[in-house]
A and B are shown apart, each in its own frame.
Chain A
């Protein structure tokens, strides 16, 4: 399948995503430069982590105006799969592809540590290889990862089962101690209503090998591969 990994000025994790897809899953990803228009055919576009435009003004606020983003919005509108990790998640929220916002961590500090994610829903192209309640271990590393949305939006996210992963402890329980940033309802990642756009704060690309402490992150990428391979993609488009 065809992966595109966008490079914004200040992206830091694009190489990690690229290597993880290539080395661990045998995929053939391609870098996309933010100043270009989105051309060619892709199955999944990844917006990687980092500090696009230095996170100046507001995380993701400037990257959404990069020339490539217009194509990404159109691609998502046609049902193309879009995955935003960390800063990518922030950009997707700023671009209006996902509801809500990511604000300063409740600790007011950058946080880098291993966390567990509990898979809440498996009927999405990003979690279809997982099991409901399954725990995935991977790192978070961000200063602004506290998910926030107004009560109406939150209610809609719950009702439509758009909260795909929540923070949990090693036993699978959500608690303030297991939540690294104070996210509302322990939200670690959400998808849009059409379920083809997914944003999450933790970094699956840094949990792709046993040597690095965990290979649970592969679940996210291999779900996408499975969804595309089985051409089940349409099922998620509802």
Chain B
């Protein structure tokens, strides 16, 4: 997972496109063929004049790059909040499959082995890109446009095919993408991992423009370039493969024993520094962290002062058409989600599902995050993001294999932001430990703030799960009239940090929903076991917008004809909390009546509460005694919510 937040705000199309390009290279540089991408996006409010422009540009950029490279974008998430007005988040996730025996690393080994530059030529774009991405924004940001790189997905596609072809043979020692800080960081990092040094002859770098200085060559962040270390004497084989794909492959240096990073230009030494100084000896910061004094006030929520709407049906419609909850088809129809013909569950479900060709297995993928929860309580927010991602996987029938993350925060030089950061990381760790999910990689993006105002602390999580039999997968949508609708989990009176409070009452207050990780585990296990045994016809996680929104999505969110439902809610609590509270560890399932007892047994064994809510049927979503609205009406506001704001 990789962030491209700063560049995407300055130049949305190229910023987002090169974010996708970067994460794709990170995957195939390891010898894995990228098989699916997702993205997690945050934009400001729609009353901000820049939001529609940024959203359109970012979506077009992600599609423009990913589609052209032939990697399907199978899912994602997109939320809007004023805190992202001047700092949008563009987090790109890609999954690849490699053979265990054929995994490649960015390592420079074997004294005298050649360093080979492959891919696109070097230009002056992206110089100081990494530095720009590590500064807070101010009015000066507009001037930063030249630091954003320009993507060429066609070259990336050629580079991808050429690298994978090369990796079938045995002439490669190490390989690394030239990402942030370009040639300098890739060469230095590879040497550090190999315990070696490198010597570069900059006169040999393929250039796009004349007159570039050694400094510019070393720091250019031109895209679609890789640095290889090959076995000595095998240069010809490598050159032949790259020639086939019309790409440059030039020996630009060699691996040395002295653990120094050296660069020469026209015979003169222009840089000489110990590799360790650029890598392992970099300073480790231990910055002060402190809970801000305003946090207590933020968490105080007096529900008696929150007036309950008289017409909860209208409230439901307002929520469904609010941009964070509304249908995201306008976005994902611009992404090719079918290429490679593996997509079993396309965007729009709790998690995407792809099959693994030639096996019965499938993989489920999801990206999740909720900055508002983390703002109100970063520790609990950190747990919730992990729990929700795992729950989304459980809803399609997949057990988590691992997670990666993208931690988006304000300036770490502020004690309050450092406190948020450390709390979130602790929360995520505790969530992962309790649910047994390994964290396999990650990315951190600091300085997401403008004129001294940071974004909400926003960790996003990409999680991948395995389905032993992909044919067994389940989708969120109701399937046939007469099916029983039931709730795994428990409704509590919780409105703190909810989408409802934010959209309807314009309040961001309270504590995020409470979570008991034992209960969470029980609910997920019940859902998974029921899916294993083929009992469930649908399963849908309850998240932003609560039970009301989730039920509406079950009725009309799918590709097939909408179905109504007759539901009865027995809990004694305020109507708005019953419908729109965001209590965790809840999954709405539907099943045939004859299977209900078997589901009861599973839930009892796992220790998960199970409550029958009603049945599928009719043309209305009727939640007695609170709401009765025609499903067609819900669908029409939900489907048009995002698009109408973009016109």
Q: Which residues of A contact B (CB under 8 A)?
A: 9-13, 15-16, 19-20, 35, 49-51, 53-56, 109-114, 139, 141, 143, 203, 205-206, 208-209, 211-213
Report B-chain residues with C-beta under 8 Å of the C-beta of A213: 344, 346
Residues of B within 8 A of A49 (CB): 339
Which residues 589-639 in B have Cβ within 8 Å of A in the complex?
Answer: none
User: Within 8 Å CB of A211, what residues of B?
Assistant: 344, 355, 470-471
Of B261-269, B328-336, B378-386, B525-533, the segment with at least 4 beta carbons within 8 Å of chain A is B328-336
B259 at the binding interface (Cβ < 8 Å): no
Q: Which residue of A lies closest to B335 (CB)?
A: A112
Is there an interface contact between B67 and A141, defined as CB atoms closer than 8 Å? yes
Q: Which residues of A contact B343 (CB under 8 A)?
A: 212
CB-CB under 8 A from A35, the residues of chain B are 244
Residue B488 CB within 8 A of the other chain = no
**Nearest-CB residue, chain A, relative to B63:** A110
Residues A111 and B338 in contact in the complex (CB < 8 Å), given A10-B154, A19-B357, A54-B68: no
CB pair B339 A141 closer than 8 Å = yes
Task: Say whether B60 faces chain A, with CB atoms less than 8 Å apart.
Answer: yes
A-B contact pairs, 26 of them (CB 8 A): A9-B154, A10-B154, A12-B339, A13-B70, A13-B339, A16-B339, A35-B244, A51-B68, A51-B154, A54-B68, A54-B153, A56-B154, A110-B336, A111-B333, A112-B337, A112-B338, A113-B333, A141-B336, A141-B339, A203-B338, A205-B341, A206-B338, A212-B338, A212-B342, A212-B344, A213-B346
Given A10-B68, A56-B154, A16 and B246 contact (CB-CB distance below 8 Å): no
State in angstroms the CA–CA spacing of A111 and B336 once bound together: 8
**CB of B158 within 8 A of chain A?**
yes
Bound-complex Cα distance A209 to B470 (A): 13
A residues in contact with B332, CB < 8 Å: 112
Give Cα A49 to B68, complex, Å: 10
Q: Is the CB of A206 within 8 A of B341?
A: yes
* Residue B245, interface by CB 8 Å: yes
Determine whether B152 belongs to the interface, using a CB cutoff of 8 Å to chain A: yes
Main secondary structure of the interface of A (DSSP, over half): mixed
**Complex contact B335–A208 (CB within 8 A):** no
Distance between B17 CB and nearest chain A CB, rounded to angstroms: 13
Question: Contact at A109–B246, with CB atoms within 8 Å?
Answer: no
A15 to B336, CA, bound (A): 16
Structural contact, A20 and B341, CB atoms closer than 8 A: yes
Question: Is B540 in contact with chain A by the CB < 8 A criterion?
Answer: no
Give the shortest distance, in Å, between B342 (CB) and chain A (any CB): 8
- Complex contact B68–A19 (CB within 8 A): no
Set of chain B residues within 8 Å of A113, measured between Cβ atoms:
333
A111 in contact with B334 given A54-B152, A208-B341, A212-B343 (CB within 8 Å)? yes
Distance from B120 Cβ to chain A, minimum over Cβ atoms (Å): 12
Shortest distance between the CB of B449 and any CB in chain A (Å) = 32
Contacts of B70 in A (CB 8 A): 11-13, 50-51
In the bound complex, CA of A152 to CA of B391 (Å): 58
Q: Can you name the residue of chain A whose Cβ is closest to the Cβ of B247?
A: A9
Q: Which residues 296-352 of B sit at the A interface, judged by CB distance below 8 A?
A: 332-344, 346
Across chains A and B, the number of contacting residue pairs, with CB separation under 8 Å, is: 91
How many residues on B have C-beta within 8 angstroms of the other chain's C-beta atoms?
Answer: 35
Complex alpha-carbon distance, A203 and B245, angstroms: 26
Cα–Cα distance between A112 and B246 once the two chains are bound (Å): 30
Mark out the residues of chain B between 394 and 432 whose CB falls within 8 Å of any chain A CB in the assembled complex: none
Tell me, yes or no, whether B157 is within 8 Å of chain A by CB: yes
| Minimum distance in angstroms from B496 CB to a CB of chain A | 38
Task: For the A-B complex with A50-B70, A55-B154, A206-B341 known, give 9 more contacts whose Cβ atoms are closer than 8 Å.
Answer: A12-B157, A12-B339, A16-B340, A19-B341, A54-B152, A110-B336, A111-B334, A112-B335, A203-B338
Assess whether B233 is interfacial by the CB under 8 Å rule.
no
B293: chain A residues at CB < 8 Å are: none
B158 nearest in chain A by CB position = A9
| Contact residues in A for B245 (Cβ distance below 8 Å) | 9
The 6 closest A-B pairs by CB, nearest first: A54-B154, A12-B70, A16-B341, A51-B68, A206-B338, A141-B336
Given known A-B contacts A20-B341, A141-B67, A109 and B334 have beta carbons under 8 A apart: yes
Complex: how many Å from CA A13 to CA B471?
A: 24
Contacts of B64 in A (CB 8 A): 110
**Known pairs A19-B357, A110-B334, A211-B355; A55 contacts B341 (CB<8 A):** no
| Cβ B158 vs Cβ A109 within 8 A | no
* Cα of A70 to Cα of B357 in the assembled complex, Å: 34
Residues from chain A with a CB closer than 8 A to the CB of B153 are 51, 54
For A14, give the chain B residue with the smallest CB separation. Answer: B70
B236 at the interface (CB under 8 A from A): no
Least CB distance from A151 to B in Å reads 31
| A50 surroundings in chain B (CB, below 8 A) | 70
Give the distance in Å from the alpha carbon of A117 to the alpha carbon of B244 in the complex.
38
**Which B residues are in CB contact (< 8 Å) with A208?**
341
The smallest C-beta distance from B254 to any residue of chain A, in angstroms, reads 31
> Residue among B68, B155, B342, B355 with the most chain A CB within 10 A?
B68
In the bound complex, how far is the Cα of B336 from the Cα of A141, in angstroms? 6
Return B396 CB to nearest CB of chain A, in Å: 14
List residues of chain A with CB within 8 A of the CB of B337.
112, 141
Bound complex: CA of A149 vs CA of B117, how far in Å?
A: 46
**In the complex, which residue of chain A has the Cβ closest to the Cβ of B156?**
A54
Alpha-carbon gap, A113 to B333, bound state (A): 6
B169 interfacial by beta-carbon distance below 8 Å: no
A203, closest chain B residue (CB): B338
Closest to A208 in B: B341
Instruction: Out of A19, A109, A114, A203, name the residue touching B559 (CB < 8 Å).
Output: A114
* Complex interface bits, B146-182 against A, C-beta within 8 A gives 1, otherwise 0: 0000001111011000000000000000000000000
Inter-chain contacts of B470 with A (CB < 8 A): 211
Chain B residue nearest to A217 (CB atoms) is B341
The distance in angstroms between the C-alpha atoms of A108 and B334, with both chains bound, is: 10
Q: Which residue of B lies closest to A53 (CB)?
A: B154
Contacts of A139 in B (CB 8 A): 338
A177 to chain B, nearest CB (A): 13
A112-B336 contact given A20-B341, A206-B341, A212-B341, CB 8 Å threshold: yes
Q: Which residues of A contact B157 (CB under 8 A)?
A: 9-10, 12, 51, 54
Q: Determine the residue in chain A with the shortest Cβ distance to B345.
A: A213
CA of A209 to CA of B344, assembled, Å:
10
Minimal beta-carbon separation of A66 from chain B (angstroms)? 12
CB-CB nearest in chain A for B336: A141
Q: How long is the Cα–Cα vector from A235 to B333 in the complex, in angstroms?
A: 40
Selected from B69, B158, B338, the residue in CB contact (under 8 A) with A141 is B338
Q: Specify the chain A residue showing the minimal Cβ separation from B353.
A: A211
B44 to chain A, nearest CB (A): 22
Question: Using Cβ atoms and an 8 Å threshold, which residues of chain A touch B334?
Answer: 109-112
Q: Which residue of B lies closest to A108 (CB)?
A: B60
With both chains docked as a complex, state the minimum distance between the C-beta of A136 and any C-beta of chain B, in angstroms: 15
Contacts of B559 in A (CB 8 A): 114
Closest to B155 in A: A54
Give CA–CA (A16, B63) in the complex, Å.
20
Q: How far is the CA of A16 from the CA of B343 in the complex (A)?
A: 12
Residues of the B chain whose Cβ atoms lie less than 8 Å from the Cβ of A212: 338, 341-344, 355
CA distance A9 to B158 in the complex (A): 7
CB–CB B154/A15 < 8 A: no
- Closest Cβ of chain B: how far from A60's Cβ, in Å? 14
Report how far A53 CA is from B63 CA in the complex, Å: 17
CB distance from B425 to the nearest CB of A (A): 36
A205→B470 CA distance, assembly (Å): 20
In the complex, which residue of chain A has the Cβ closest to the Cβ of B329? A113
